[in-house]
Amino acid sequence: MIFTVAIDGPAAAGKGTISRAVAARFGFAHLDTGLLYRAVGAKVAAGVEPEAAALALVPADLDAAGLRTLAAGQAASRVAALPAVRAALIEFQRRFARQEGGAVLDGRDIGTVICPEAEVKLYVTASPEIRAHRRWLEVGGDAGQVLAEVRERDARDMHRADAPLRPAADAVVIDTSDMPVEEAIARATALIAAHMESP
């Protein structure tokens, strides 16, 4: 069976948590596509040219230490704005998405660019303040600075010329601002199950 679930949304909205949960529930492979860009950003920080870093990326690179830090997220957002980097990573993601057994991909442009043919498209969002608070709980530091960085990243991701962050026209929006994570997972699971059962 080939079945793709595309889950998009801004940083700290809960898409990773939902993606991992639904992948486990249905036995699908899971790819956090943000890790691809974080891994490329880490290589660039080490002196590698961005496109070369993207072309040389291997699955083991996604397990590198430090890819979940705020700095890695900012580096990812910067390299993700480079068309050559995005182009180099598209085929990697598309092959993953259409593998036998089903796949869940979460990122910024899965439903709009990478997998517009995905069987289920979700857009997970929350207010910037809620997302910044969640990120602050993860990384600590100055709460005001974290909020400023979330807003800066949103602006960069949503207004970049190539594959801006936005919901696909046929995506179901799940706003987690005031929604417990269990409820968000249950809603996503029900949507996927309904689609799998439909003829």
Task: Show binding-site residues for ATP.
Answer: 9-17
CA distance 113 to 116: 6
- Upper half-sphere CA count for residue 49 (Cβ side, 13 Å): 5
Angle between helices 83-97 and 70-80 (to 10 degrees): 100
- Under the phi-then-psi rule, with left for phi > 0, alpha for psi from -120 to 50, and beta for the rest, what region is 31? beta
- Under the phi-then-psi rule, with left for phi > 0, alpha for psi from -120 to 50, and beta for the rest, what region is 101? left
Binding residues: 9-17
Angle between helices 33-45 and 83-97 (to 10 degrees): 140
